[in-house]
Structure 1
Amino acid sequence: MTTITQPTYQQTVKERRSIRVYNPEVKIEKQEMMELLEEASLAPSSLNLQPWRFLVIDSEEGKGKLKELAKFNQRQVDTSAAVIAVFVDMNSSDTTQEIYDLAVEKGVMPADVRDRQVPMIKNMLNDIPREDMRAMNFIDAGLVSMQIMLSAQSRGYATNPIGGFEKAKIAEAFGLEKERFEPVMLISIGQAAEDGYQSVRLPIQDLAKWV
């Protein structure tokens, strides 16, 4: 298990690189991966519905299946400790009651607030077109994906977000219901075996406006 050295926030965000080649000898234990994903899942989400779902692909069998679906990203699949497939659950509204019951159980929400909000949320979501719900879920999945990469960086691991894979096939390939679970991205993770390229960003004064 990699020791957490508690880098500063500035170090974490400034030192992150997209790494495509990893040390294949370095694995990530399931417990540490769970802790990493728990940290990432502290990301905000619309109505706190947490629509993200994770498929951690770290076995030879799983990677072999993934390689057929990510043919332009073979190095990441082959050498990484794991590839995390981030999906959104288009039925995530079904867990509204569970989430708000847990909030009451943990003492962070009064029961009367839950009892008002849950019916209101369910009614509102019933009227949202699927494409609007999909757009909302994808924003939330983007937030959690970035936190996966930052959590990994703080633990001494490197990552690479991958959009080039066969999105229409991946759910069914891994036994997930295609219409329910929509893929967002893949994130390879492991110990870097290369430095990665330092990239540049446009000046903030060209991107931000004060009014």
Structure 2
Amino acid sequence: MSNSQTIEKIEQQMFLDVIRERRSVRAYDPSVQISREEMTEILELATLAPSSSNLQPWRFLVIDTPELKEKLLPIAFNQQQVVEASAVIAVLGDVESYKKAEKIYGQAVEAGFMPVDTAKSFIERTVGMYSSLSPEVACQIVFTDGGLISMQLMLVARSKGYDTVPMGGYDKAKFVEAFGISERFVPVMLIAIGKAAKPGHPTTRLPIEDVAFFNEMPSIEE
């Protein structure tokens, strides 16, 4: 085996370890604080996730002060990870993300990834299409993209030695009111992040033959 093949094998194993070691952790060491610099790096890596038309509709509200975590606690049904974790990241979806199309495609031009004329065409088509979507379809798109980036964020965190838990159990209406979230932004989920005080519970998965089918779905599902 060549050196390049050996390195590739090691990198593959490291990636698989990150996937296998990720757990939903609910008990955190409150003495561990993630610096703003490292949190920013985690978020930047997460934003390499794909999104519809590359509009990147995710927005993050990072809640990391004790006062605001205490404010969030009852809204999140008193789940203790809210106050014990280094931070809680609220993943939000911008249903008007098309307003950044010019900036996004302009960056592609500056990077040499796209000709000016192509970018102009993309901007006109993207703004026209996304600005005319129904609220239901717009929300569906940002929920899909929000799910993609949330998983990527959790894997990036694990690769850096941190732990996470995705949280859908919170009062969205109260969260929006308490933190002044405008109607433009749709709450997707909360993600607690920090250093585990104790490991997350091991879980099992259904056999792959129960969930994966080739070319056609079975006629009857149990």
Per the TM superposition, whether the score is higher than 0.5 is yes
User: Which has more radius of gyration?
Assistant: 2
Match of 1:137 in 2: 142
**Distance in 1 between the 2:152 and 2:41 partners?**
12
User: Match for residue 100 of structure 1?
Assistant: 105
CA contact (8 A) 1:72 1:164 kept: no
TM-score of the two chains, using structure 2 as the length reference:
0.89
* Stretch moving more, 133-142 or 60-69: 60-69
Following superposition, the deviation at residue 139 of structure 1 comes to: 0.2
Mapped pair 1:189 → 2:193: yes
Report sequence identity in percent.
49
* TM alignment of 1:154-169, pairs within 5 A: 154-169=159-174
Shift of 1:172: 2.6
Q: Which has the higher contact order (CA 8 A, sep 6+)?
A: 1
| Unaligned residue ranges in structure 2 (runs of 5+) | 1-10, 216-222
Any idea what SS the aligned residue of 1:189 has?
strand
Check conservation: 2:90, 2:191, Cα contact below 8 A.
yes
Give the distance between the partners of 1:69 and 1:142, measured in 2 at CA.
21
Matches within 5 A, 1:82-97: 82-97=87-102
RMSD over aligned Cα, in angstroms?
1.2
Worse-matched range after superposition: 6-15 or 190-199: 6-15
- CA distance in 1 between counterparts of 2:45 and 2:161 reads 15
SS in 1 for 2:193: strand
Question: Taking structure 1 as the reference length, what is the TM-score of the superposition?
Answer: 0.93
The CA deviation string for residues 130-151 of structure 1, in whole angstroms up to 9 with x for no partner, is 1011101100000000011000
List gaps (5 residues or longer) in structure 1: 1-5
Q: Would the aligned equivalents of 2:98 and 2:131 in 1 still touch at CA under 8 Å? A: no
Aligned with 1:112 (options 112, 117, 124): 117
Aligned length: 204
